[in-house]
């Protein structure tokens, strides 16, 4: 049980973001990887609610582009780029 990563005090989620990573973020309060993970999860959840709010063609490229944009919109430039 001691080797279980869920119980380690210091893991990758507690790693401070580099200056370059912080510069690319839209929310300025994010300084640790776990804060970024949480913000991304919120974006993903909201995007999925949007996607499932009505019948959509899930194979339509415009729909997929918009879903992808919504999933990465609030976290920052470069994250989840489709280019």
Whole-number pLDDT of residue 10: 56
pLDDT digit string (tens) for 9-68?
556 667 788 888 888 877 888 888 888 888 888 888 999 999 999 898 989 999 999 998
Return the domain boundaries, the chain: 16-72
Contact in structure between 23 and 17 (CB atoms under 8 Å): no
Provide the whole-model pTM: 0.62
Residues 18, 25: Cα–Cα separation, whole Å = 11
């Amino acid at each position: 049980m001691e080797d279980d990563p869920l119980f380690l005090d210091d893991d990758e989620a507690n790693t401070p973001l580099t200056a370059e990573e912080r510069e690319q973020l839209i929310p300025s309060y994010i300084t640790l990887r776990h804060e970024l993970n949480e913000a991304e999860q919120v974006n993903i959840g909201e995007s999925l609610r949007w996607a499932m709010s009505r019948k959509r063609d899930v194979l339509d490229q415009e729909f997929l582009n918009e879903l992808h944009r919504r999933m990465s919109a609030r976290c920052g430039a470069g994250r989840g780029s489709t280019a």
